Amino acid sequence: MPALKIFGKMKYFMVSDKNDRLFNYRTICIIIFAALISGILSGIFIALTWDLPQIRSIESFRPAGVTRIYSADGILISELYLEKRDPVPLNAIPYYLKAAIIATEDRTFYRHSGMDIKGILRAVIKDMIAGEYAEGASTITQQVAKTLFLTPKKSLLRKIKEAILSFQLERRYTKDEIIELYLNQIYFGSGAYGVESAAKLYFGKPAKELSLAECALIAGLPKSPSRFSPVINLNAAQKRRNIVLKQMLETGIISDTEYNAAADNPVILINHEQSRIIAPYFIEYVKNYLEEVLGASRLYRGGLTVHTTLLSNLQDAAEESSAIGIAEITKRMKKSGIKDPDPQCALIAIDIKTGGIVAMTGGNDFYKSSFNRATMALRQPGSAFKPFIYALAVERGFTQHSLLLDAPVVFKSGKRGKDWVPQNYSGGYEGEMTIRKALAVSENIPAIRLMEILGPSSVTQFAHKLGIETPLDPNLSLALGTSGVTLIELASAYAVFPNMGKYIKPFCVTDVEDRRGNIIWRTKPEKRIAMSGEGAAIMTNMLEAVINEGTGSAGRALNRSVAGKTGTTNDHKDALFIGFSPSVLAGVWVGRDIPAPLGNGETGGKAALPVWINFMSKALSGKQDEAFNIPDGVVRVKIDPATGLSASSGSDTAATALYRKGTEPE
Contacts for 443 with CB less than 8 Å, ≥ 6 apart? 406, 424, 425, 426, 430, 433
The set of catalytic residues is 105, 383
Sign of CA dihedral 409, 413, 416, 422: negative
Dist. CA 261–CA 250, nearest whole Å? 16
Dist. CA 583–CA 612, nearest whole Å? 15
410 three-state secondary structure: coil
260-289 residues labelled b (16+ CB within 10 A) or e (exposed): eebbebeeeeeeeeeeeebbbbbbbbbbeb
CA dihedral 580, 583, 589, 590 (to 10 degrees): -90
116 three-state secondary structure: coil
DSSP β-ladder status, 655-660 and 67-70: unpaired
Transcribe 445-469 into DSSP letters. Answer: HHHHHHHHHH-HHHHHHHHHHHT--
Dist. CA 259–CA 213, nearest whole Å? 9
Contact 409, 448 (CB under 8 A): yes
The neighbour count for residue 628, using CB atoms within 10 Å, is: 20
DSSP β-ladder status, 344-351 and 655-660: unpaired
Q: Closest by alpha carbon to 166, among 219, 109, 118, 222?
A: 109
Dist. CA 560–CA 627, nearest whole Å? 9
Contacts for 613 with CB less than 8 Å, ≥ 6 apart? 554, 555, 557, 558
Residue type, 279: A
3-state helix, strand, coil in the chain (%, to 5): 45, 15, 40
